[in-house]
Copies of this chain bind each other. A is one copy, B any other.
Amino acid sequence: MWMEGSQMRKFALVLLLTIPSMIGHAGEGMWLPDQLPKIGAALEAAGLQTPPENFADLTGDPMGAIVSLGGCSASFVSPEGLVVTNHHCSYGTIQFNSTEEFNLLDDGFLAAGHEDELAGAPGSRVYVTESFSDVTDRVLAVIPADADGSARFAAVENAKKAIIAECEKTPGHRCKVASFFGGAAYRLYDQLEIRDVRLVYAPASSIGKYGGDIDNWMWPRHTGDFSFLRAYVGRDGLPADPSPDNVPYRPKHWLAIGVDGVEAGDFVMIAGFPGRTNRYRLASEVEDAIEWTYPQRVQRRRESLEIIERETAGRPQAALAYAAWISYMNNSMKNAEGMEAGFAYSHSVARKRALEAELATWIAADPDRQARWGDALDELEAVLAEQRMNRARNMELSSLKFNQLVSAATTAYRLAREREKPDAERKLGYQERDMRRTRARMARMARSFDARVDMTLLEHTLDGYAALPEAEHVEMLDEWFGLGGDVDPETAIKTTLHGMYTATALTDSAARMALLDADRATLEASDDPFVEFAVAMYDTNLELEAEDEALEGRLMEARPMFIEALLAYQTAHGVEIYPDANGTLRVTFGNVMGYQPRDAVVYLPFTTAEGVAEKATGEEPFNAPVPLLEAIAAADYGPYASEAIGSVPVDFLSDVDTTGGNSGSATLDDQGRLVGLLFDGNWESMISDWDFLPEVTRSIHADVRYMLWVMDRIDHAWNLLDEMGVEPAFNGASPTEGR
């Protein structure tokens, strides 16, 4: 698209409004909702028009509308339990309902009425946060005075289990104890767990995943990354298993739609469930991530993707089975590449080292501080150094879990062993409360498994394990695969695996599901090679787990001590601190703004519908639908065009602070109305898991105006618009008629 002069002028003005230093760096910070009143001045400066206290009430407006899908965020947008989230957050459900003939990924889907809505993929959930409370004292109180790492870990785990069990006495609730600042504080979150979640509407992937893995993490972006689900409960209003008898859930609050969207410089706010950040990690940990973790990850993901591509070539059913997995792997690989690129210019390690030096000076300057925190950094470094010693082995062993048959058998046998104990004494993850998730995970496998791919990936992992130095080998694993001595490891692995995959019955989905109910004796008597493998590895796995937990327990002591010192130092310098993301509900706020990615290049904050056409090649992932391109060519935008932008805005940038888990979060305007959906970070934001760079860290949002325009003009989702209180503009008009 080649802008006309008048539009260029507008863009220049828009840009002028988007310069961070002119409106302050609101962006950094994933705040706890109850912190917001404390930073009211910053919120007001950024442009919030409502009292920040409103956001501290989780059951009020708008926070009562914000939900988690487990891994993604979402929000209610109607009193009938209609939920809006990203297309990529519903991808598993869309894929689950797709077949070669009836491919919802390709074609999109719109339910004409409630009765046409499609089942969510097994394990689909909507979590409505009802309350939270501080349980730090309860957790810390149970730790014995001179506990070692293992004892500390066990004590904390037991305290968490007890607190959760108490909380989950309320039917239909799911509770979680989250740790903050590395274990310095704990909170209990009580959520309603809605488990009948249905697909209502998704545009075609050629809109919802437009640009695919090529554009992923990139700006300019033109992805219509939105979809709609609906939460259903039993007639009694309580969560229930999926059933035709269920009725739509009626949330206490739902978001109003800000049909006019936002413009450059405007305030925006994100409420959602960011998964994990590492902002308070040491310089040495960042360095380790840069030099070891991410390069390893890039290489491993690339190899796995090559294997999947090769092994599914010409096998569309197998390719479909791995579509979501490929998405995940590409995403993870590109993320790691972005990390490497980002660290190359961020100077994160140097800045962390400088901060650590300042902190050390500050501690040493006061005897009390010296007594309390003088050893904190060294002690933390010592545990971390020990943890790093096994990182290569641990990475190979954790790759084993990506193998679906190994994972199925290992899970089943562990479950059988745990079930021998009273429920309260079982490990977290193996209690009765976890069984639904475990079953769902196993059920999902039916649609995302192919024995040939599975075996080839496992073979590759084991070849990597075999290449580790002798000292890092695990005896039982060597024994099982016949490694060691003069044996050629690749041949031994290939031979053993071929035998296992030939003999196993677990390639059958029903057989895998049945395993979950088998008791210890049955499993130990099984001659299925994967079950035999799981039984053989059981003691080894427990030992490795105990080693990990002992280190984790030591970290639970060392890290809070360091962070306590750091917080004291920051507080002494007047800095308000937010905790690292940990999957709990957070609010971040900032402003719509572009950035300068490199010398002489400026990225504007909004992309336009014309930009969709500009990228269209007809080839996936740039295969924009013809009706969409026709509507763009005709500029048939109705009320959804922004005058300032001169088109329908497709996606936009802001400096809000988000990470994985925030996907699908409602983007709220200064009145708390929905004006977009967060769905990604820019390339430069990759390292924001470790370090927030105000000049370049940006989040990417799907604009509500593109969402509404596509729903109205292209997909005729007039029923949903009505339900959200938005009057359709194209309802009744011929799709080929201009207006």
Contacts and interface: CB of A to CB of B under 8 A. Distances in A.
Given A3-B695, A695-B3, A600 B220 contact: yes
B598 A614 contact: yes
Given A599-B220, A603-B600, A611-B600, A21 B1 contact: no
A607 B599 CA distance: 6
A607 B603 contact: no
Nearest to A21: B5
Contact of A602 (B9, B15, B219, B606): B15
Given A12-B16, A695-B5, A696-B2, A602 B599 contact: no
Contact count band on A: 35 or more
Interface core residue of A1, A599, A607 (most chain B CB under 10 Å): A599
Interface in A216-246: 219-220, 222
The majority secondary structure among interface residues of chain A is: mixed
Given A1-B598, A600-B608, A695-B2, A16 B16 contact: yes
Contacts of A610: 599
A382 B20 CA distance: 61
Interface core residue of A8, A20, A21, A220 (most chain B CB under 10 Å): A8
Interface string A675-703: 00000000000000000010110000000
A599 B19 contact: no
A596 interface: yes
B611 A11 contact: no
A600 B22 contact: no
Interface in A575-589: none
Nearest to A602: B602
A6 interface: yes
A270 interface: no
Contact of A600 (B21, B606, B695): B606
A365 interface: no
Contacts of A5: 19-22, 695
Nearest to A13: B16
Given A2-B693, A8-B21, A607 B600 contact: yes
A599 B1 contact: yes
Contacts of A1: 598-599
A6 B19 CA distance: 9
A3 B4 CA distance: 28
A12 B8 contact: no
Interface in A584-622: 594, 596, 598-608, 610-611, 614-615
A345 interface: yes
A3 B18 CA distance: 14
A345 B616 CA distance: 12
Contacts of A12: 12, 15-16, 18-19
Contacts of A600: 219-220, 594, 603-608, 611
Contacts of A22: 5, 9
A611 B599 contact: yes
Contacts of A602: 11, 15, 601-604
Contacts of A599: 1, 220, 222, 607-608, 610-611, 614-615
Interface string A16-42: 101111100000000000000000000
A305 to B, nearest CB: 26
A596 B219 CA distance: 15
A600 B602 CA distance: 8
A5 B15 CA distance: 13
A615 B345 CA distance: 12
Given A16-B16, A695-B3, A8 B596 contact: yes
Contact of A21 (B6, B594, B598, B611): B6
Interface string A257-274: 000000000000000000
A628 to B, nearest CB: 15
Contacts of A19: 5, 8-9, 12
Given A8-B19, A596-B11, A2 B604 contact: no
Interface in A186-227: 219-220, 222
Contacts of A693: 2
Contacts of A615: 599
A360 to B, nearest CB: 28
Interface core residue of A2, A6, A12, A600 (most chain B CB under 10 Å): A600
Contacts of A611: 598-600
Nearest to A24: B5
Contacts of A607: 599-600
A220 B2 contact: no
Contacts of A3: 596, 695
A602 B696 CA distance: 16
Contacts of A20: 5, 8
A488 to B, nearest CB: 36
A12 to B, nearest CB: 5
A607 B594 CA distance: 19
A343 to B, nearest CB: 13
A1 B595 CA distance: 12
A140 to B, nearest CB: 42
Contacts of A18: 12
A695 B596 CA distance: 21
A345 B600 CA distance: 24
Contacts of A603: 600-602
Interface in A695-717: 695-696
13 contacts: A1-B599, A2-B693, A5-B20, A5-B22, A8-B19, A12-B16, A12-B18, A15-B15, A220-B598, A599-B611, A600-B603, A600-B604, A601-B602
Interface of A: 1-6, 8-9, 11-13, 15-16, 18-22, 219-220, 222, 345, 594, 596, 598-608, 610-611, 614-615, 693, 695-696
Closest 4 CB pairs of A and B: A5-B21, A599-B611, A220-B600, A602-B602
Given A12-B15, A13-B16, 18 more contacts: A1-B599, A2-B696, A4-B21, A4-B695, A8-B19, A9-B19, A9-B22, A12-B19, A15-B15, A15-B602, A220-B598, A220-B601, A598-B611, A598-B614, A600-B606, A600-B608, A601-B603, A602-B603
